[in-house]
């Protein structure tokens, strides 16, 4: 009987990988190679951009509008934070040792469920998502920032406001130990603590973001760590930083800048090219890093989403 003797190095037929799978393996390897390349490209980008390593879990924003992001470096080195200084370049250095731990936020006023919560518990309670928003400062500069946060609406629902609650009032930390301008008492630049507010329907709007991070990383102190407000269709000063207290009231809160100069800064502060600041025009804006200005958009480009909130209101009077 003639039969083939298997050489020691031969393997049995059953060990042979099916062709489809073999092709699949090729594809898998290619994919793996691409992965490595792409991660290293991402890494390279991260290194060159000096991006922080993301430390938050969140749902990414697909950026359907194709907004061009400002660099991380631009966003973290040009800030208005008067508690430290009026110098936008100076904040970063002065704020570098800001203590965000422990950090408790109290939610009180006209609510069924007033509560105090530790910042970390707050992070665990709400689902985070990335929101790439235009940001427009009342001074005429602008940027695009990939914020990370959760809708203020979900926090409000959790607090269960009473029917008498018509407004939400926010307060920044008051801590003269940490904030040099708060130590200057009579000579301080503005009144402290910094106060901001929103009408209930504005606060409940899905665009209004309780913000805890940017570029996937927790907020740096100069950008309002650990928790700030972002209302993308309003001027930046509405986006109160380092929030310690959220109060539900039945009357319109007097926000800090309105208190400072009510002829120049109002309660609503909606971005509007047709309503100039009394001392400068709001028709155009300077995007950080660019020599050329661009046109200011009505409600900062969120007109479709928020126009209905102001139906029948005279935006020149309620600026």
Partner 1 sequence: MRQLILSFILLQPLLFLLYMLFISGVEDPIKFIYTLTGATALTLLYITTTLSLLRRSINLLRYRRTVGLFSFFYALLHLLNFLILDMELDLVSALNETFDKPFIFFGMASFLILLFMAITSHRSLFPRYFKYHKMIYIVILLSTIHFVMAQKALSIPQWGYLGVMALISILKVLQRSGIVKL
Which one among 66, 291, 304, 314 touches partner 1, defined by CB under 8 A?
291
- 19-27, 197-205, 240-248, 290-298 -> range binding partner 1 (CB under 8 A): 290-298
Kindly state the smallest distance separating residue 183's Cβ from partner 1, in Å.
12
Q: Which residues, at least 6 apart from 71, have a Cβ–Cβ distance to it below 8 Å? A: 49, 289
Q: Which residues of 25-53 are buried (b: 16+ CB within 10 A; e: fewer)?
A: eeeeeeeeeeeeeeeeeeeeebeeeebbe
Q: Should residue 288 be labelled a site residue for partner 1 when binding is judged by CB under 8 A?
A: yes
By the rule CB under 8 A, 290 interacts with partner 1: yes
Binding of residue 260 to partner 1 (CB under 8 A):
yes
190 is in an annotated binding site: no
HSE toward the beta carbon, residue 192, CA cutoff 13 A: 24
DSSP 176-204: TTT-HHHHTGGG-SS-SS-EEEEEHHHHH
Nearest of 287, 284, 173 to residue 227 by alpha carbon: 173
| Contact positions with partner 1 (CB under 8 A) in 201-240 | none
The correct pick among 289, 307, 313, 318 for binding partner 1 (CB under 8 A) is 289
Cβ-proximal residues to 36 (8 Å cutoff; 6+ apart), any chain: none
In whole angstroms, the minimum distance from the beta carbon of 61 to partner 1 comes to 23
Least distance CB 259 / partner 1 (angstroms): 12
Footprint of partner 1 (CB under 8 A): 74, 77-78, 82, 85-89, 138-141, 184, 187, 189-190, 260, 276, 278-281, 283, 286, 288-293
């Amino acid at each position: 009987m003639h039969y083939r003797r298997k050489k020691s190095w031969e393997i049995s037929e059953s060990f042979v990988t099916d062709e489809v799978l073999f092709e699949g393996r090729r594809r898998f390897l290619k994919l793996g190679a691409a992965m490595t390349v792409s991660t290293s490209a991402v890494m390279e980008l991260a290194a060159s951009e000096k991006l922080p390593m993301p430390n938050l879990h969140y749902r990414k924003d697909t950026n359907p509008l194709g907004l061009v992001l400002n660099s991380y470096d631009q966003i973290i080195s040009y800030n208005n934070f008067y508690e430290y200084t009026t110098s936008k370049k100076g904040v970063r250095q002065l704020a570098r040792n800001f203590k965000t731990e422990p950090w408790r936020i109290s939610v009180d006023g006209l609510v069924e469920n007033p509560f105090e919560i530790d910042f970390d518990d707050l992070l665990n309670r709400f689902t985070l998502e990335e929101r790439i928003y235009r940001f427009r400062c009342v001074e005429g500069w602008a940027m695009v920032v990939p914020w990370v946060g959760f809708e203020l609406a979900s926090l409000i629902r959790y607090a269960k406001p009473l029917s008498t609650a018509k407004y939400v009032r926010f307060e920044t930390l008051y801590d003269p130990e940490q904030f040099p301008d708060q130590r200057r008492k009579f000579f301080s630049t503005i009144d402290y603590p910094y106060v901001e507010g929103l009408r209930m329907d504005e606060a409940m709007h899905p665009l209004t973001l309780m913000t805890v991070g940017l570029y996937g990383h927790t907020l740096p102190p100069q950008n309002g760590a650990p928790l700030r407000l972002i209302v993308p269709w309003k001027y930046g000063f509405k986006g109160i930083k380092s929030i310690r207290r959220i109060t539900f009231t039945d009357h319109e809160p007097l926000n800090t800048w309105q208190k400072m100069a009510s002829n120049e800064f109002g309660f609503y502060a909606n971005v509007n090219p047709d309503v100039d600041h009394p001392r400068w025009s709001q028709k155009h804006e300077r995007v950080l890093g660019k020599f050329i200005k661009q046109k200011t958009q009505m409600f900062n480009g969120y007109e479709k989403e928020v126009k209905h909130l102001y139906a029948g209101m005279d935006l020149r009077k309620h600026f």
